């Protein structure tokens, strides 16, 4: 991987989720029209599946955040169930 590609990926990682989505859509749009990049349908489907699984995980985590007490260390011998 070149330094330019790594820099691009680092910049991508620093974006918000909404901005990352915009970049993904634009890169896929450009790749579709590029004559120098030919990806087999299997590769595109696999990449889309991976992306959607990750997005589903993020949405599930955002929809069901853990209660604060479950992230706190045990105090005075009590566990997170209050026992």
- 8 Å CB contact between 24 and 51: yes
pLDDT band at 45 (very low <50, low <70, confident <90, very high): confident
The two structure tokens encoding residue 49: 């599946």
- Dist CA 15 CA 13 (whole Å): 6
| pLDDT tens digits, 1-32 | 899 999 999 999 999 988 998 998 888 888 77
pTM, rounded to two decimals: 0.44
What percent of the chain stands above pLDDT 70?
70
**C-beta of residue 32 within 8 angstroms of C-beta of residue 24:** no
Domain ranges of the chain: 12-45
Tell me the percentage of the chain whose pLDDT exceeds 90.
19
Mean pLDDT of 29-42: 74
The C-alpha atoms of residue 71 and residue 63 are separated, in whole angstroms, by 17
């Amino acid at each position: 991987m070149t330094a330019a590609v790594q820099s691009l990926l680092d910049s991508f990682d620093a974006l918000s989720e909404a901005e990352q989505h915009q970049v993904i859509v634009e890169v896929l749009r450009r790749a579709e029209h590029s004559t120098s990049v030919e990806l087999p349908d299997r590769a595109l489907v696999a990449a889309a599946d991976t992306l959607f699984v990750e997005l589903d995980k993020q949405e599930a985590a955002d929809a069901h955040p853990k209660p604060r007490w479950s992230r706190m260390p045990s105090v005075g011998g009590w566990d997170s169930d209050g026992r």
